[in-house]
Homo-oligomer: A and B are copies of this chain.
Amino acid sequence: MCKLIISFKDEYSPTALLKMEGRKEAAVVMENNKQIIFKGYIDRAPEITDMELKISNVSTSKLITTMEDGDILVTNLYLSCDPYMRGRMRDFHASYIPPFTPQSVMEGFGVSRVLHSKNQNFKAGDVVTGLTGWEEYSVIHNTAQLRKIQQDDDDESVPIPLSYHVGLLGMPGFTAYAGFYEVCAPKKGDSVYVSAASGAVGQIVGQLAKLHGCYVVGSAGTSQKVELLKNKLGYDNAFNYKTEPDLDASLKRYFPHGIDIYFENVGGPMLDAVLLNMAIHGRVVVCGMVSQHGMSSRHGIHNLYTLISKRIRMQGFLQSDYLSLFPRFLEDVTSYYRQGKIVYIENMNEGLESAPAAFVGLFSGENVGKQVVRLAGE
């Protein structure tokens, strides 16, 4: 067990603390804890004003006194902005994950460094990834959901940015991996269409599909993203759905023989157009419907009748049903990355203060790639 030294010296900046990796003794000096507070339930697209910055004057030394056996105190390095979090802002308690508590700190996936541990599985200096608070320091009680990041000391291998553990090697990456291999039933030569194709999940789906020998087309909402899809992410083709006058016609152009696999991230009119262009026995794998903001979609889907004539399977999934595959995923995707077979694009915002805007931006497609907020240097 680590022995704690509480120090009040000003020079113990958060950065200084973070450099204490590997030491069993961590100095904890911060008097304040900046936090992003969830104000209250909504039933629309999130807005910045649904959250607020609060300076909690509970010092880290005080936090330590509140810790129970098994808890760890961490400093948060990276916070992940993910569309599923919108679901937790609703007053709906029957979903697969409970809603946020109004007037409490927002929660999400992050990468954090352990400052103090009352858990024998973690020690000060460990870097972990899992659910944490949108704040500088968090006491994590549910440590079972954390994964310790093995930092590779082998200089020969390609280093993996810590932030990738909330993206390429985190929940979005695993969502892409499980969704593609376990739900899409992909075959070499299949025609694959990915919407939100440069997003946290989509960019990986497209690359996995290419590695699998598929023909892959993606759509996104800016010309910059379309360029990335074609020139960096290896898509066979890509288009800006916002500038296409007729989505049905666009899809017919890119998929003259129909779509075998549609990896659905957006919902709405795009889904309706896709349903008109599926191939026989096609699969619509529903990962998200980011365009639909309420508890009930604003855009009704009119073309489901094609499910019958085309014998389409439309299937929603959650990565959490496939967690037994996580170790294989980590191994495979780490290997792909180190071999240069996969790249990953992040949209990195700086500072906790930027987190609400970064999160809200997901729903209007402002992010280019996986949206991460950096709180402190590594």
Contacts and interface: CB of A to CB of B under 8 A. Distances in A.
A315 B316 contact: no
B296 A308 contact: no
Interface in A42-85: none
A216 B87 CA distance: 32
B304 A297 contact: yes
Contact of A318 (B87, B301, B306, B308): B308
A288 interface: yes
Contact of A317 (B300, B301, B306, B311): B311
Contact of A315 (B289, B292, B309, B314): B314
Interface string A308-347: 1111111111100100000000000000000000000000
Which of A271, A310, A315 has the most B CB atoms < 10 Å from its CB?
A: A315
A299 interface: yes
Contacts of A313: 313-316
Nearest to A312: B316
Interface in A274-299: 280, 286-289, 292, 295-299
Contact of A304 (B95, B280, B286, B309): B286
Interface residues of A, number: 36
Contact of A307 (B87, B307, B316): B316
Contacts of A95: 309
A305 interface: yes
A314 B311 contact: no
A289 B310 CA distance: 14
Contact of A309 (B96, B300, B308, B314): B96
Nearest to A316: B307
Contacts of A292: 305
A312 B284 CA distance: 12
A303 interface: yes
A153 to B, nearest CB: 40
A295 B306 CA distance: 9
Interface in A234-289: 267, 271, 280, 286-289
A321 B311 contact: yes
Interface in A206-220: none
Given A312-B316, A314-B315, 11 more contacts: A96-B309, A267-B304, A286-B307, A292-B305, A298-B302, A300-B302, A307-B315, A308-B316, A308-B317, A309-B318, A315-B315
Interface of A: 87, 95-96, 267, 271, 280, 286-289, 292, 295-318, 321
26 contacts: A95-B309, A96-B280, A267-B304, A267-B305, A271-B304, A286-B307, A287-B308, A288-B308, A289-B305, A289-B308, A295-B305, A296-B305, A297-B305, A300-B300, A300-B301, A301-B302, A306-B316, A307-B315, A308-B316, A310-B316, A311-B315, A311-B318, A311-B321, A313-B313, A313-B315, A313-B316
